[in-house]
Amino acid sequence: MNISNVIKFLIATFCILLIFSSGLTAQTQKESARSSVGINIGYFFPQGGWTQARTNPSIQYFKKGISSEVDLELAVVQWWTIVFSAGYTMLDVSEWENYASSDSNTLTASAGMLHWAVSVRPYLMSSSAFNVKAQLGLGYFILEGEETYNSVKYDYDFLKSGFGLITGIEIDQYLSGDAAVSVRFSYFLIPSGVEYADQSESHNVIGMAITGGFRFNL
């Protein structure tokens, strides 16, 4: 997958959403952006070749896992907010554990992804009870993992930390004037997040998170 094409697609989608939002603004009066804090939890669904075991591509190193995030959203102009967020994703490595374990030795493994990000969220639709917001941001991702086999521990040094792109949509349904339930669809892209020591193979880390939670106005 060509990373430049992916980035162009994500930015183009974000721009289309903004144009769509501008059209709605001409027809309806939107509520102003609100400062708030949010907490979300759900699942991260990894996509692409970075999840495959190098020794056997039919086996997945990493599968879907629990993903959580907290954020501080600050209103800066009428329909725009700046968001500071932090999150952690725990990846499921059970398929690799089962494949690599033998009758006499059991392999245990763990892997996860920590991130901090700064994003902008323009309001696409908003009212006193309902908001739809797009998101585009830059994050720093720490990918890490390890496995233990025959009492020897190995670090997953092919997982690389670095900057990546976050984009998505959040829907907030207010239960009261200051508290809402939220659903978020987020897309993560980390260029060359998997790179093997011999540099013969590298992959972009790509995946989608679907999470739900609560948002509280400040």
> What was the pLDDT predicted at 55?
84
> What was the pLDDT predicted at 2?
55
Q: What is the pLDDT along the chain (218 residues), one digit of tens a residue?
A: 555 555 555 566 666 555 555 544 444 445 678 899 999 999 999 999 999 988 888 999 999 999 999 999 999 988 889 999 999 999 999 999 999 887 667 889 999 999 999 999 988 888 878 889 999 999 999 999 999 988 889 999 999 999 999 999 999 999 988 999 999 999 999 998 999 887 678 899 999 999 999 999 99
> What was the pLDDT predicted at 25?
47
Rounded Cα distance, 203 and 54, in Å: 11
Rounded Cα distance, 185 and 205, in Å: 17
Nearest residue to 44 via CA among 178, 172, 143: 143
DSSP letter at 216 equals E
> What was the pLDDT predicted at 39?
97
Q: Which two tokens stand for residue 158?
A: 């092919």
Residue with tokens 């001409």: 26
Cα dist from 109 to 45, 62, 64, 88, 101, whole Å: 19, 10, 15, 17, 11
- Cα-based torsion angle of the residue sequence 90, 96, 98, 99 in order, rounded to the nearest 10 degrees: 180
> What was the pLDDT predicted at 124?
85
Domain spans of the chain, in order of start = 3-217
- Domain topology for 3-217: Porin (2.40.160)
* pTM as predicted: 0.84
> What was the pLDDT predicted at 128?
78
Nearest residue to 214 via CA among 189, 185, 180: 180
